[in-house]
Structures are given as structure tokens and as C-alpha cells.
Amino acid sequence: MQATLSALAEPNRLQIVELLRRKPRGVGEIVDRLGLRQPQVSKHLRVLSDAGLVEVHPVAQQRIYSLRAQPLKELDAWLEPYRRTWDDRFDRLDGVLRDLKGKDKDKDKDKDKDKDKRDGHGT
């Protein structure tokens, strides 16, 4: 996840990924389309490859790079819990604010703290 995000955070890399979304392509074609230098594209592809975002298939002296679905699926899965809150959770801010304003000394115990304890974030 972290790896996926880091890899996609680079603009050129993101473009490469978007380019590969259509179909697999050789390095030269990517160089051509994005107007980048060949070595740099190779390096970006390396990073993407290390992140598992692309895979390569040699054809003669060419290397055809194609997208791998898994990392993006994981990103999709990561978004899942957020999707769930988009509807009702976000506007509970008011409640929290009100709660904070009406706080007193007894809150030192943090009664709502232990309920946060059980999270289970997997990334």
C-alpha cells in the first residue's frame, strides 16, 4: 500500500501507469509518448516494477511492460472503509465538537479512548 502510493506519487510514474492502462507497451513507446528521456523512463519502470505495479515481458530486445491489477486492487480495498463513512460518518463532526466543548475534568479517563483501541488497520 505504502509502496503503491509512493510509486504513484510521482507525476511521470502516474502517467506511465495511465498509459499502460490502455494496453502494454514497450519502453520506447512510453519514451515517445511522454517525451521523457529513455534512461529516466527505465528507472521509473523499475520503481513501478519494484512496487509490483507493472510486469515485464521481453520480446527480442524489447521489454513490454504491462499493468498488474493487484496493487490497484489493494488500493481499492484500502478505500473501502472510507467509502463506508462517506455517507454518514463525516458529518458527525458536530457531535465531536459539541462533546469537546462540554468536556470536564472527569474526561481524563478517556472513556471513548478504549473503544478506539480496537482498530485493526492492516496497512
Partner DNA sequence: CAGGAATATGCCTGTCAAGGCATATTCTGG
Partner DNA sequence: CCAGAATATGCCTTGACAGGCATATTCCTG
Q: Which does 61 bind (CB under 5 to 8 A by kind): a copy of itself, DNA, none?
A: DNA
**Minimum distance from residue 80 beta carbon to DNA (Å):** 25
CB-based contact 3:44 (threshold 8 Å) = no
E strands present in 16-68: 25-26, 54-59, 62-67
Interacting residues of 49 by C-beta distance below 8 A, sequence separation 6+:
55, 56, 65
Per-residue interface string for the shown chain with a copy of itself, residues 23-62, x marking contact by CB under 8 A: xx-x--x--xxxx---------------------x-x--x
Residues in contact with DNA by CB under 7 A are 6, 10, 12-13, 26-28, 31, 36-47, 56, 58, 60-63
